[in-house]
Amino acid sequence: MCFERYKVEIMTTVLLLFGITLGIYVFIFYNFISGRQCKSDSSLKGKTVIVTGASGGIGKMTALDMARRGARVILACRVQETGEAAVYDIRRTCGNNQVLFMKLDLSSLASVRSFCKAFLHSEPRLDILINNAGIQDYGKTVDGFNLMFGVNHLGHFLLTLLLLDRLKHCSPSRIVILASIAHDWGKIDFKNLNPPTGKWSDTMQSYCDSKLANALFARELANRLEGTAVTCYAVHPGFVHTNVIRNIPQWLRVMLFPLAWLFCKTPMDGAQTSIFCAVEDGIEMYSGRFFANCQVKQVKPPARDDAVAKKLWEISEELTGLVS
């Protein structure tokens, strides 16, 4: 009888501890992990939005929100099969049939030019450009650039500048650039913009460098757009459970998966700051600034160095063939 009572007491204690732990986790998740939600109910009917890398993750959730607001949404994706599948899912979810796939491979400057030519020929408007796509992998682009510098920065740089006149024509308009808090560990070495990425540590450093380039691009772009009704914003989505880290070593993925599942944002939560910067009224004065958790954030000196931002812009123009 005493043994049975002892078992009941143990079970009660275990259940109580489990309940307390679960309660603490739920409190932490909803107050500190999931982050703020974009509260704007702005309609985007009659507007056209491009979201790069929208076949999954943050990009797909961002595109879904834009479609729910009534926008005509172009999913600019590298892989046709996954891009068209995302179009089908978004249309079915929100009932907006003005969601389309267009092929865009940011690792190829020729593909970027082809996409822009096709878009400008077929679409009369562009109101919001969301440079969401990103990669964390080793190797080189089609044009011989470090893969992350080429895709995360140069591809989006060329895309933005080729579409800029259309954005100005349809102003007020916005550009959202998906950066990352990882820019804190980045550096811009103008003598070595194409470092090797064979080692995982080199790959991580190149990723951080490309995110710093994103933040500097937004800053210089805002300077050059001053006096127009086009604004731009760099955003940190938070730590989100997506497939962006699919190329890290298998052993590390196995270790990180439980932590990612428990302590990382969902893709929809991760999309909130991008959505906020795309639709929130009254943030135009913060053009070129860095946003996280749906609010403007101060960045460290390397990310607000105007001289470096200007030089990076000029070199990017040369590398993408915008100037000879």
The predicted-structure confidence for 132-141, as pLDDT tens digits, reads as follows 999 988 889 9
CA distance 96 to 35: 27
- DSSP code for 303: G
Of 294, 154, 165, give the one whose Cα is nearest residue 217: 154
CA distances from 318 to 34, 125, 322 (A): 40, 28, 6
8 Å CB contact between 134 and 244 = yes
> Helix, strand or coil for residue 234?
strand
* Tokens matching residue 250: 């298998």
- The single-letter DSSP state of residue 246 is T
- Of 59, 277, 298, the C-alpha closest to 184 is 298
Sheet (strand 290-292) strand order: 99-103, 72-77, 48-52, 128-131, 173-178, 230-236, 290-292, 295-297
For residues 70 and 45, the answer to whether their CB atoms sit within 8 Å is yes
pLDDT of residue 3: 58
**In this predicted structure, which of 3-17, 78-92, 224-238, 244-258 has the lowest mean pLDDT?**
244-258
- Rounded to an integer, what distance in angstroms lies between the CA atom of residue 127 and that of residue 25? 40
Share above pLDDT 90 across residues of the chain, in percent, rounded to a whole number? 72
**Residue 14's pLDDT band (cuts 50, 70, 90):** low
Largest Cα–Cα separation, the chain:
90
pLDDT digits 0-9 by tens, 196-242:
767 777 888 999 999 999 999 999 999 999 999 999 999 998 765 55
Query: Mean pLDDT, to the nearest integer, of 283-300?
Result: 96
**253 against 157, higher pLDDT:** 157
Q: What is the mean pLDDT of residues 161-179?
A: 97
Q: Give yes or no for residue 15 having a pLDDT over 70.
A: no
> What pTM value is reported for the model?
0.85
- Find the catalytic residue in 25, 88, 138, 207: 207
88 is catalytic: no
* Range in 126-130, 196-200, 271-275 with the lowest mean pLDDT: 196-200
User: CATH for 42-319?
Assistant: 3.40.50.720
- Measured between alpha carbons, how far is 150 from 157 in angstroms, rounded to an integer? 9
Q: 122: which 2 tokens? A: 């077929």
Least confident of 45-54, 201-210, 249-258: 249-258
Closest CA to 236 of 175, 305, 177: 177
**Per-residue pLDDT, 200:** 76
